[in-house]
Amino acid sequence: GLQGKTALVTGSTSGIGLGIARELARAGADLVLNSFTDSAEDHALADQLAAEFGIRTRYIRADMSKAEEARALVGLAGGCDILVNNAGIQYVAPIDEFPTERWDSIIAINLTSAFHTTAAALPGMRAKGWGRVVNISSAHGLTASPFKSAYVAAKHGIIGLSKTTALEVAGQGITCNAICPGYVLTPIVEKQIPDQMKVHDMSREEVIRKVMLARQPSGDFATVEQVGGTAAFLCSAAADQITGTVISVDGGWTAL
């Protein structure tokens, strides 16, 4: 179990981040939840998880688009044994029409924030001789789709960061890996459906079946519980020698 460990999960008030937080909590870890909103619901969610799993939880606001806030989050959390870099956003447009500020914020949130949180977390993990860094990449970290240049670039980038981190901490009781989910029906995917309907001139059902799940041979979305369970496995003793690699949770997407 993960009793006595503190897990910091960025972007964990919804979707995959929340699913990961719940599975780490189920394994006994204390939680630090994060998002950039700082709403009453965010704090209530932390209280609810504490009661449900009998663990200690906190919510800490930090905007992962801002380097200083990402860097400071780990210190505000009092360090962490498990760091899950999950916060991420998406934007869909052809490269020649892709707004520069959208490119910049996707690279900042989906890639650069993980550099800063990792840099801040590693000294504490080294001091304890144990640590886990789990980076949430994507099937788009291993393959590409048109109109997702910034996202695909950031998700490929975070796999490189994961490998480099793994090498720098090898032999120190710390591992770093990336999880590559295929399509999971979360708010980030819901929000893409209208854009994809426009770009492909398709109905909602056609976008789900012909665009999204066309790449997923299983024909099903992956679930947040499955991605969370994979993260919990990477934090278990069974995964002590799994480092610098990628686990896909993609219904066969990358086997095609």
Count of positions (residues) in the chain: 256
Q: Return the beta strands (E) in 115-221 as ranges.
A: 131-136, 174-181
Q: Please state the closest distance from residue 140 (CB atom) to ligand NAD, in A.
A: 7
Q: How far is CA 66 from CA 69, 188, 196, 205, in A?
A: 5, 20, 28, 36
Cβ atoms of 147 and 104 within 8 Å: the answer is no
For ligand NAD, what does the binding mask look like between residues 30 and 69, x meaning CB under 6 A?
A: -----xx--------------------------xxx----
Is 151 among the residues known to form the active site? Answer: yes
Of the candidates 59, 91, 151, 183, the residue annotated as catalytic is: 151
Provide the residue type at 217 as one letter: P
Residues 177-216 close enough to bind ligand NAD by CB under 6 A? 181, 183-184, 186-189
- For residue 229, the minimal CB distance to ligand NAD (Å) is 15
Which residues inside 91-110 make contact with ligand NAD, applying CB under 6 A?
Answer: 109-110
87 binds ligand NAD (CB under 6 A): yes
Minimal distance, residue 33 CB to ligand NAD, in Å: 9
d(C-alpha 47, C-alpha 53), whole Å: 10
* 172 vs 245, beta carbon nearer ligand NAD: 245
Pairing between strand 174-181 and 246-249? parallel
Q: Please say which residue, 86 or 149, places its beta carbon nearer to ligand NAD.
A: 86
Residue (143 or 172) nearer to ligand NAD, CB: 143
* Terminal alpha carbon distance of the chain: 36
Site track for ligand NAD across 125-164, x = CB under 6 A: -----------x-x--------------------------
Return d(Cα 149, Cα 106) in angstroms, integer: 10
Indicate whether 84 belongs to the interface with ligand NAD (CB under 6 A). no
Residue in the block written with tokens 């503190």: 6
Rule CB under 6 A: choose which of 79, 88, 157, 228 binds ligand NAD: 88
Q: Which residues pair with 248 in a beta bridge?
A: 180
Residues sharing a CB contact under 8 Å with residue 241, sequence separation 6 or more, in sequence order: none
**Count of CB atoms situated within 10 Å of the CB of 57:** 23
- What residues act catalytically? 151
Q: Can you give the binding site for ligand NAD, defined by CB under 6 A?
A: 10-17, 35-36, 63-65, 86-89, 109-110, 136, 138, 181, 183-184, 186-189
